Structure 1
Amino acid sequence: MESVFTILVLLTTVGLSGFVTRVIALKLPLPLIQILLGCVLAWPGFSLHVTFDPEFFMMLFIPPLLFADAWRIPKREFFRQRGAILALALGLALVTVPVIGYSVHALIPAIPLSVAFALAAVLAPTDAVALSGIAGKGAIPSNLRHILEGEALMNDASGLVALRFAIAAAMTGVFSLRHAFLSFVMIAVGGLAIGAAIGWLSIVLSSWFKKRASDEDPAAGVIMMLLLPFAAYLSAERAGCSGILAAVAAGMMMNYQSLRADMSIVTRLRIRGTWGMIEFVFNGMTFILLGLQLPHIIGSALIAAEAQGYTHMVVLIGYVLLVLMMLHLLRFGWMWGLRWLARRRRQRNATDLAVSGWRPLIIMTLGGVRGAVTLAGALSLPILLPDGMPFPGREMAIFIASGTILCSLLVAIVGLPMVLHGVSGKEDGLAAEERYARIEAAQAAIRALAETHDQIKVGLDESATVRVADCFARVMDLYRRHLEVLGADQTADEMARLDDQVDIKLRTRGLQAQRAELLRLRRRQKINDETLNKLLAEIDLAEAALFTRSRTV
């Protein structure tokens, strides 16, 4: 019963966090508000205690979030930017481990080298979820945003695999670079292959069942899709491969299913709405759980500081700031080197990090915020060694990791808006591409309407032909006005926009009146709930289409 109560409290807090961001005068990013609410829930008076199980957290929260991110990320830009993404997700992540590991060991001799390497491994992954919550949608230029999102998708695996070897070295005292490299390749390739295979199998089975299904209810298919990231993750982990990369590969594979023309609109809407809710809830739970753990972590550090004097706590904070500074300097230097190589080899199109100026480098540096995966990795450090002795430097490593998460978020909250001031996240190339797509789609609709009109009027009498022609003219006029809005003539463009705005307003007002009347009929028991829900669904879909159309006018 206590577990149910805890889950309900956490879900309620996630919902409240969305309202808090809208009502408070100081506009703070949603992840920071959720962390603060988690810290409030950890107050002793609330009697809310959540034991953070890193293995359970990695299995429950990370696969669906990475699956959704991999599904949503533009595949064309991902493969176009693969050089920069791999250089950051694989190259920078693996360079971070020895550089930060040796630096931490030299800075804090009390932390053994293997434990320092483990700390560096958990600090390597970045968090795109926290970044989007800080910067907001459309704030970061799309070329840089795609690189940051792709890096966050891939570097979780590289950092956590490096953590696995660092922990093994700390527990056994044995480390083989050759064995670690070969194991890393096998784990990564195996995870990608398993995830892609499960995603492909899901597409095949979904298509097979759709052909034999007798109804259009998408509920069963949506549930199976919700289980897909967990199936990919657990299958890969059972095989000794990377479950994280398996979830990413499955998400990318499922993108091909969303491109199928035979997927019904009901299924698309159901999937979009379901995944949107899951992402919001799981992201919120992740940051609230992070906030719940911070008071305990800070309290443990304070107890240790009290035993050694107040200055020891100041030294701990100094360690956190130094580690964060080293991470930012290493990241900045790595990206500066990538840009230098791109210019040197005249591969400007290979990576958008080759753009001139310092602002893109600073954006990419501050954009490397750390999040929940870092905390989960730090808390997964063993408590005891095989001989029963305490794992050396564990509390210190957890405190530094937690402090780095908070400080990286705060630095990004303050720094990114300043750097992004005057920068648009939208690009002219993408706007032109969208305009071109809208024109081509409208012209294709006009051609299809003309063909359909000719087919429908075959065999009809004169009266029916006139009615068909009238309907054809009304529908055709909608697409023609749409093309006028997208045209180049300024005067015609303004008039067409005005016509479109009036049309949308009138149609929306009519739909609202229909909805109000249906609700009135239901209250007076003139229609039942089944009739009401069916007609409301039609009105909601039509109004959603008008809302989407109004955003382009």
Structure 2
Amino acid sequence: MESITIALVLLLAVVLSGTLARLSPVGIPLPLVQIALGAAIAGVTGSAVQLDPDFFFLLFLPPLLFLDGWRIPKEGLFRDKAVILELALGLVIFTVILIGFLVHWMIPAIPLAVAFALAAILSPTDPIAVSAIAARVPIPPRLMHILEGESLLNDASGLVCMQFAVAAVLTGVFSLADAVGTFLWVAIGGILIGFGTTFVVMKAKYYVSRKLGEEPGAQILISLLIPFGAYLLAEHLHCSGILAAVAAGITMSFAELRGQTMAATRMRRYAVWDTVQFALNGIIFVLLGEQMPGIVSGAARIVTETGHLHPIWLIAYVAVITTALAALRFAWVWVSLRFTLYRAARRGEAIRKPHWRLLAAMSLAGVRGAITLAGILTLPLAMNDGTSFPARDLVIFLAAGVIILSLTAASIGLPYLLQNLELPPEDDHHQEEDNARIAAAEAAIRMIEKLQHAMSEGRTDADLYGEVGTRLMELYRQRIEGRSKLGDEADLLRKMEEVDKRFRLAALRAERDELFRLGRRRKISEEIARKLVREIDLAEARYGF
């Protein structure tokens, strides 16, 4: 009963955090509000939730990583693959080595292997936290895509590196050759298991749906279970469950392109996964705030082992680590850019150097968030011999401090760095979209003609089918004609579409308000009102609202 109460309180805190973040006059990022609410809960209850590291890891990481892999734009991922791989793999290794040595040198009470574990879990970035900041200042789409792609891959690479470091702490043994071989096994095995799990499940699902029909609720549950199945199977075979969850999500996105799922299922599933993502991310940050009093007190006890007498040094440690992470990221981005420009010059391409503020924004946008927190809270409570895991409270505090400080720095610095910044031109996808709409309209016309002929053949009311079909085909031909225009005519068409959208939305909202009024006055039944409002909601969603 107590566990259920705790879960409900955490969910309520997540709900309240959204309202408080919107009410904030200075635009405080949502994760910071959630951390503050968690600390307030701990202050009121005077106790903290006892977290089981393995349970915490299993509950939070697979669905979040799966969703990242599912929803990330693959075109941007492949277009900027070189930059993303440099950040997600090269920068992670660079960060683990340098930050690990820095932490051990600065705080000798933290063993080197534990310092490497801390550095590894600090390497993943969190685009969701950046998105909360982007509500106040637009982040360039391409920069956001790079951050999303980097986060998808460095989540996996950082967490795998952390697992190796923790294993070295527990066993006291580390062999580079063995680590490389093991890494290849767990990485390749995890990716193949993730791909295979999703592939088999989707094939079975499509077969059953084709034979027995599709049940949206069951399909949504299947999508929720896939990441856990891939993760548990990979862990059982001693492969990377993290990479399995990511690979399962990427495979899911390609499987969805087959279009074998009903529209109603896709809409409901999208809403369910949005809720899951919001709830899990929110609970992680609320738990951080709720754990902070205990973490701070534990870290304060350990800090005396570093030779310092005052816990204020904890803040200094966090500031130094956060600054070092940003500096390393800036240096890596700058060197990477130099190599990119050099290669472009060798190929004879036109070179346009980005403004230094864009490089600084790229560095500052490396915010640590939910994955870092979820990973650090899974550190073992004890060693293999039963003794306490060395400096556990201290490294958890340092990770939590870096999360808070990086969020605060980004929320203050990004609006300044991106304000009135002249950005490199983005690819224009209007023509690609127009071509797709034309192709879809032509396919619709062909299908209407085919259906019109089949349904009207041999019927006495064939004229009725002909008239309806002609009317629909005329709408599609107007779409094709409009999308085929170029230059000023195309710009005028887009402006007309925007005006048309505003009129249609206003009309739909007026319809819905009238239906609600009729329902309140009992002029129509509740069932009819719900059905008609649902139709209007779907029509409104068609315009992106």
TM-score between both structures, scaled by the size of structure 1: 0.87
In structure 1, the residue matched to 2:162 is 163
Residues 130-186 of structure 1 show CA distances to partners (whole Å, capped at 9, x for unaligned) of 222222399222222222112211222222222222223233332111111111111
Which one of 345, 352, 374 corresponds to residue 376 of structure 1? Answer: 374
In structure 2, the residue matched to 1:295 is 293
- CA–CA separation in structure 2 for the residues paired with 1:425 and 1:69: 26
- Tell me, yes or no, if structure 1 residue 233 matches structure 2 residue 234: no
Cα offset, 1:37, TM superposition: 1.0
Is residue 216–residue 264 contact of structure 2 (8 Å, CA) maintained in 1?
A: yes
Cα offset, 1:313, TM superposition: 2.2
Map 1:234-253; keep pairs closer than 5 Å.
234-253=232-251
Larger deviation, residues 235-244 vs 394-403: 394-403
Cα offset, 1:327, TM superposition: 1.1
- CA–CA separation in structure 1 for the residues paired with 2:424 and 2:229: 35
- CA–CA separation in structure 2 for the residues paired with 1:326 and 1:451: 66
Is residue 516–residue 529 contact of structure 2 (8 Å, CA) maintained in 1?
A: no
In structure 2, the residue matched to 1:32 is 32
Distance 1:479 1:139, change over 3 A: farther
- CA–CA separation in structure 1 for the residues paired with 2:480 and 2:137: 25
In structure 1, the residue matched to 2:176 is 177
In structure 1, the residue matched to 2:102 is 103
Larger deviation, residues 194-203 vs 270-279: 270-279
Distance 1:20 1:60, change over 3 A: same
Is residue 512–residue 533 contact of structure 2 (8 Å, CA) maintained in 1?
A: no
Distance 1:160 1:474, change over 3 A: closer
In structure 2, the residue matched to 1:269 is 267
Distance 1:309 1:3, change over 3 A: same
Map 1:77-96; keep pairs closer than 5 Å.
77-96=76-95
Residues 449-476 of structure 1 show CA distances to partners (whole Å, capped at 9, x for unaligned) of 4555555554455x75267426633673
In structure 2, the residue matched to 1:429 is 428
Residues 17-41 of structure 1 show CA distances to partners (whole Å, capped at 9, x for unaligned) of 2222223323222111111111111
* Stretches of structure 2 lacking an aligned partner (at least 5 in a row): none
Cα offset, 1:426, TM superposition: 9.5
SS of 1:27's equivalent?
A: coil
Distance 1:377 1:23, change over 3 A: closer
TM-score between both structures, scaled by the size of structure 2: 0.88
Which one of 468, 471, 478 corresponds to residue 480 of structure 1? Answer: 478
Larger deviation, residues 504-513 vs 316-325: 504-513
In structure 1, the residue matched to 2:325 is 327
- CA–CA separation in structure 1 for the residues paired with 2:264 and 2:430: 28
Residues 177-228 of structure 1 show CA distances to partners (whole Å, capped at 9, x for unaligned) of 11111111111111111000001111211110111014x4311121111101
- Tell me, yes or no, if structure 1 residue 2 matches structure 2 residue 2: yes
Map 1:69-218; keep pairs closer than 5 Å.
69-136=68-135, 139-214=138-213, 216-218=214-216
SS of 1:115's equivalent?
A: helix
Which one of 393, 407, 411 corresponds to residue 409 of structure 2? Answer: 411
- Tell me, yes or no, if structure 1 residue 540 matches structure 2 residue 537: yes
Distance 1:40 1:354, change over 3 A: farther
Is residue 142–residue 426 contact of structure 1 (8 Å, CA) maintained in 2?
A: no
In structure 2, the residue matched to 1:67 is 66
Matched to 2:10, the amino acid is L
- CA–CA separation in structure 1 for the residues paired with 2:136 and 2:416: 16
Is residue 124–residue 159 contact of structure 1 (8 Å, CA) maintained in 2?
A: yes
In structure 2, the residue matched to 1:342 is 340
Distance 1:425 1:8, change over 3 A: farther
Alpha-carbon RMSD across the aligned residues, in angstroms, is 3.3
Distance 1:305 1:68, change over 3 A: closer
Distance 1:229 1:499, change over 3 A: closer
Is residue 34–residue 288 contact of structure 1 (8 Å, CA) maintained in 2?
A: yes
Larger deviation, residues 384-393 vs 144-153: 384-393
Is residue 295–residue 394 contact of structure 2 (8 Å, CA) maintained in 1?
A: no
- CA–CA separation in structure 2 for the residues paired with 1:494 and 1:143: 25
Cα offset, 1:296, TM superposition: 1.7
- CA–CA separation in structure 2 for the residues paired with 1:478 and 1:65: 40
Matched to 2:325, the amino acid is L
Matched to 2:510, the amino acid is R
Residues 14-71 of structure 1 show CA distances to partners (whole Å, capped at 9, x for unaligned) of 112222222332322211111111111111x335531122221211111111111111
- CA–CA separation in structure 2 for the residues paired with 1:309 and 1:333: 32
Cα offset, 1:394, TM superposition: 3.0
- CA–CA separation in structure 2 for the residues paired with 1:475 and 1:501: 24
Among all aligned residue pairs of Structure 1 and Structure 2, give the percentage whose two residues are the same amino acid. 42
Is residue 125–residue 370 contact of structure 1 (8 Å, CA) maintained in 2?
A: yes
Cα offset, 1:511, TM superposition: 5.4
SS of 2:261's equivalent?
A: coil
Is residue 481–residue 496 contact of structure 1 (8 Å, CA) maintained in 2?
A: no
- CA–CA separation in structure 2 for the residues paired with 1:10 and 1:436: 47
Matched to 1:87, the amino acid is E
Cα offset, 1:312, TM superposition: 2.4
In structure 1, the residue matched to 2:21 is 21
SS of 1:61's equivalent?
A: helix
Larger deviation, residues 90-99 vs 103-112: 103-112
SS of 1:313's equivalent?
A: coil
Is residue 107–residue 306 contact of structure 2 (8 Å, CA) maintained in 1?
A: no
- Tell me, yes or no, if structure 1 residue 358 matches structure 2 residue 356: yes
Cα offset, 1:324, TM superposition: 1.2
Matched to 1:209, the amino acid is V
In structure 2, the residue matched to 1:509 is 510
Distance 1:99 1:515, change over 3 A: same
Is residue 485–residue 496 contact of structure 1 (8 Å, CA) maintained in 2?
A: no
- CA–CA separation in structure 1 for the residues paired with 2:77 and 2:366: 18
SS of 2:312's equivalent?
A: helix
SS of 2:92's equivalent?
A: helix
Matched to 2:42, the amino acid is A
Distance 1:447 1:380, change over 3 A: closer
SS of 1:143's equivalent?
A: helix
Matched to 1:34, the amino acid is Q
Residues 470-504 of structure 1 show CA distances to partners (whole Å, capped at 9, x for unaligned) of 66336734762685488442667656665564455
- CA–CA separation in structure 2 for the residues paired with 1:425 and 1:443: 35
Larger deviation, residues 412-421 vs 297-306: 297-306
- CA–CA separation in structure 2 for the residues paired with 1:497 and 1:402: 45
Cα offset, 1:262, TM superposition: 3.3
- CA–CA separation in structure 1 for the residues paired with 2:404 and 2:471: 60
